[in-house]
Amino acid sequence: MIVNSENMADLAWDKMQGLLPCMVQDSSSGRLLMQGYMNAEALAQTIASGKVTFFSRSKQRLWMKGESSGNELLLDSVTADCDNDALLVQARPQGPTCHLGTESCWLPPQQPVASELIELERTIAARKADLAAGNPGKSYTAKLLNNGIRRCAQKVGEEGVEVALAAVAQNDEALLNESADLLYHLLVVLQARDLSLEDVVNVLRERKGK
């Protein structure tokens, strides 16, 4: 169930002496970020403030993620599992989640496919922000964005043709490389128009079942 301030009492707080395990997931990439524990007060504060807050078993107090580092987790949703005794929080991380300075407390050898695309999109967005702040740097992404939407769109067209040619006349490796180039340039042109991959996915969701 989707948890809110009105149905918190329906959770199975008694199973673990008032604490429920809570997994935190990046709401954009789907990557698992960390695990913590919430009591009713921590959950209520999370919902009210929009910033993920846990109950620290070592400190024996409420602990808002990022209260010292600034790497907050901005809440999107809280859901409970089928037994109402575990929580899944979807949030937007404002920096590394792990205390070791990494994105996640788990370090798998390979991230989920969607996570790779979101990470690339965030890098492109960071280059765009640097450009807007007058710090363009020397990256290809910044140069492309600085050339304007027409040049970005032109590159998408060029890469689309390269993908089509590779599909009919070249090997799998060439097709995969050209496809990677197309995805990258598509993300750049979306950022140039202040749009995102999530906006594209929302269109696909609307089309689903039609």
**Is 38 within 8 Å of 87 (Cβ atoms)?**
yes
Q: Look at residue 24 in the predicted model and tell me its pLDDT.
A: 97
pLDDT at 79 over 90: yes
Give dist(CA 33, CA 171) in Å, integer: 38
CA distances from 79 to 3, 6, 45 (A): 5, 13, 15
- 113-207 folds as Helix Hairpins (1.10.287)
Backbone φ/ψ region at 24: left (φ over 0), alpha (ψ -120 to 50), beta: beta
CATH number at 8-93 = 3.10.20.810
- Per the listing, tokens 């599909």 go with 167
What the block records as the tokens of 44 is: 């209520």
Q: Look at residue 82 in the predicted model and tell me its pLDDT.
A: 95
- Helices 172-192/113-132 angle, 10° precision: 40
155-208, pLDDT tens digit by residue?
A: 999 999 999 999 999 999 999 999 999 999 999 999 999 999 999 999 999 998
101-152, pLDDT tens digit by residue?
A: 988 998 765 677 788 898 899 999 999 999 999 988 889 999 999 999 999 9
What the block records as the tokens of 166 is: 């590779």
Report which secondary-structure segment, H or E, holds 34.
Answer: strand 32-38
CA gyration radius for the chain? 21
Q: Look at residue 109 in the predicted model and tell me its pLDDT.
A: 59
**Is 8 within 8 Å of 43 (Cβ atoms)?**
yes
Q: Locate CATH 3.10.20.810 in the chain.
A: 8-93
What the block records as the tokens of 89 is: 């929080």
Q: How many CB atoms lie within 10 A of CB 86?
A: 17
Average pLDDT over residues 23-52: 94
Q: Look at residue 30 in the predicted model and tell me its pLDDT.
A: 85
Q: Locate CATH 1.10.287.1080 in the chain.
A: 113-207
Most confident range, picked from 22-31, 33-42, 115-124, 128-137: 33-42
Q: Look at residue 189 in the predicted model and tell me its pLDDT.
A: 97
Angle at 156 between CA 154 and CA 159, to 5 degrees: 110
